[in-house]
Structures are given as structure tokens and as C-alpha cells.
Amino acid sequence: MKYLQNGSFRSKPLMRLTLVASLIFLTGFWLTTAVMFFSKLGFTPADIAAYYRGSEAEFTLPRTFGSMLEVTHGHLPVMAMVALLLTHLFIFTPYSTGVKKTMILTLFGSAFVSEAASWLVRFVHPAFAWLKLAAFYALEISLLFIIYALVRLLFTPPPSKSKK
């Protein structure tokens, strides 16, 4: 992390290579997350509610407690690690402390709320599908912003030090 803090990653080709490669994979994660979400759950709150609660019109059964627990069990550690990695690197970008705090809280919060909203839709009320959709959009936007900020950090030349 000292390489990011003092900017010396710019003169370390292997450090830059690993960071760029990681961001390529995380961009793929971002893209496939959106594709999977919309292909499975749909684009509207009604689609999301039908996915979790089942649909007589489409002859689909509600998601079971066990299947939802398996998904949550996989999502929680993966999202924690992705959020930790990205937000930890994001701390070294030139954005203000306020922007950094907002993005960190948005990323972690939206990931958690998105997961919780699945359970709320299924077991409490279908109206929570709006929350699921809003949290998903917040998650995707915050992930994209942080990835963009890191790519920009890696490819922006360092500020020049002028002598006066």
C-alpha cells in the first residue's frame, strides 16, 4: 500500500500490471453481475417479486429458504472482499474525504441492503422489490465509479513538480 500512498506505483511496472489486471477482472465482475441480475430477476419490481415469490402465471415456485441461504452464504464473503479491495485502493485516489466516505458507505451499504432486500421480498412483502432494485443500481454505480477512479489513478501522470 505504500506504493499507492506515495505514488511510487507509477515507477513499478509489476505493481501497475497487477493492479490493471485486477481491475480488468473486477470490471468483468461488474458487467456479469448486471447481466446475471437482469437475466434472472428482470428489470421491474414485479419481475423481482415474481422471481423470489414465484408466479402462477409462469408456473414458477417461490425461492426456498435453503436456496436463498446458499446464495447469501456465497455473496456475503465475496462482496466483502470485493468491497474491501476496491475501497482500500480507492482511499489513495485524489478525491476528497467526503467523496471517499460516501463511496465506501454506498458500496458496502448497497451490497448489504441488496442482499437483505432479497429476503424481505421473499418473506416479508413484495413491495421490497423496489428496495432490491434501488440497492442494486446503487451497488453497480458505486462499483463502476470506484473502478473508474482507480483506472484513472493508474493512467494519469503524476502532478509535475515545478521549481519557482
157, 97 contact by CB (below 8 A):
no
Return the residue matching grid coordinates 456475503. Answer: 76
42 or 4: which leads in pLDDT = 42
Q: Is 133 exposed, middle or buried (0-12, 13-18, 19+ CB in 10 A)?
A: buried
Q: Which helix (H) or strand (E) holds 55?
A: none
CB atoms within 10 A of CB 128: 22
Q: Measuring CA to CA, which residue among 135, 114, 13, 9 is closest to residue 72?
A: 114
Q: Give the confidence band of 1 by pLDDT, cuts at 50, 70, 90.
A: low
* In the chain, where the domains are located: 2-155
154, 162 contact by CB (below 8 A):
no
Residue 162 pLDDT exceeds 70: no
Question: Which residues lie below 8 Å from residue 118, measured CB to CB, with a gap of 6+?
Answer: 52, 68, 71, 72, 132
Average pLDDT score, the chain: 92
Return the residue matching grid coordinates 500490471. Answer: 17
Residue 145 pLDDT exceeds 80: yes
Residue 6 pLDDT exceeds 80: no
Query: How much is the average pLDDT of 47-68?
Result: 94
